[in-house]
Amino acid sequence: MRQLLVINPNTSASVSALLQNHVQAAAGLHVQVRTVTARFGAPYIADEASYAVAAHATLDAWAAALTAPQQAPDAVLIGCFGDPGLLALRESSPVPVTGLAEAAFIEAARHGRFAIVTGGERWGPMLARLAQALGHAPSLAGIHTVVPTGAELAADPAAAHSLLTQACRDAVRQLGAQTVILGGAGLAGLAAGIQPGVSVPVIDSVTAGAHWALRNHAPPPQRKAPGFDMAWEQLSPELTALGQVRSGA
């Protein structure tokens, strides 16, 4: 059975539970999903500072997960629509790595130009930068953010449904999108209810991440074992150990 490690880069246990449930349901019985939670950082990532800390927290959670007695993962999914730490973790991992955003970009691009709808106004430029870095900018029709953060939307599903449905419709009408990504770990499961009110496919980023785990679209890993190319100072014991392994290799 394939093993998928899902890393929640924020400290919210409720988001981890949501990820575990939805990723496992979408991945099916042939994938065993294990979700771990960041050991430090923000309860929900909503700005540049929390995003920067989350990248470190992602690497730390991965290193800690590797010390657990469970079977080593066959793939790693960063459970945040923004993929903090993606390139660093991919560089350090012997197995394929992606995040909710990259997985959703890949799936959405099959339908043509896509728009992103997500919570939190500060995510707009952050996601535009990510799409550019990952090579998906030509397919991105635009980004439509709503004022409430993903955490606030998840706390009031009824209000979120109405607000996000209208945002998806606006993205289609104003941006000419041929598909819409509903981005955010906290929004897992909402796309299915929104879809009947939108004229183009609405992609759930968490479901897209689970589907990626079955296909492994990420570039092939370059390492045979986890590790970093330098020694660390004053980081967690797990990160430090991986740095020492690589520096002495």
Listed as own residue / partner, the contacts of 25-31 with beta carbons closer than 8 Å and 24 or more positions apart are 25/210, 26/206, 26/207, 26/210, 26/211, 27/210, 27/211, 27/213, 27/214, 28/214, 30/1, 30/2, 30/214, 31/1, 31/2, 31/3, 31/4, 31/210, 31/213, 31/214
Asked if 76 and 171 sit in the same domain, the reply is no
> Which residue range is the domain that position 234 belongs to?
2-100+212-247
pLDDT of the chain along its 249 residues, tens only? 889 999 999 999 999 999 999 999 999 988 999 999 999 999 999 899 999 999 999 999 999 999 998 888 999 999 999 999 999 999 999 999 999 999 999 999 999 999 999 998 899 999 999 999 999 999 999 999 998 877 788 788 888 889 999 999 999 999 999 999 999 999 999 999 999 999 999 999 999 999 987 776 555 667 889 999 889 999 999 999 999 654 444
Could you tell me whether strands 114-119 and 179-183 are parallel, antiparallel, or unpaired per DSSP bridges? Answer: parallel
Q: What CATH code is carried by the domain that includes residue 33?
A: 3.40.50.12500
Q: Decide if 242 contacts 63 (C-beta within 8 A).
A: yes
Asked if 95 and 113 sit in the same domain, the reply is no
Label residue 206 exposed, middle or buried (CB < 10 Å: 0-12, 13-18, 19+): buried
The total domain count for the chain is 2
How high is the pLDDT of residue 220? 63
Query: The tokens 């896509």 sit on which residue?
Result: 114
Q: Decide if 227 contacts 245 (C-beta within 8 A).
A: yes
Asked if 132 and 201 sit in the same domain, the reply is yes
Asked if 47 and 118 sit in the same domain, the reply is no
* Cα 19 to Cα 207: distance, rounded to the nearest angstrom: 10
Query: The tokens 């100072």 sit on which residue?
Result: 233
Asked if 195 and 235 sit in the same domain, the reply is no
Asked if 12 and 56 sit in the same domain, the reply is yes
φ, ψ (nearest 5 deg) of residue 78: -85, 115
Asked if 88 and 105 sit in the same domain, the reply is no
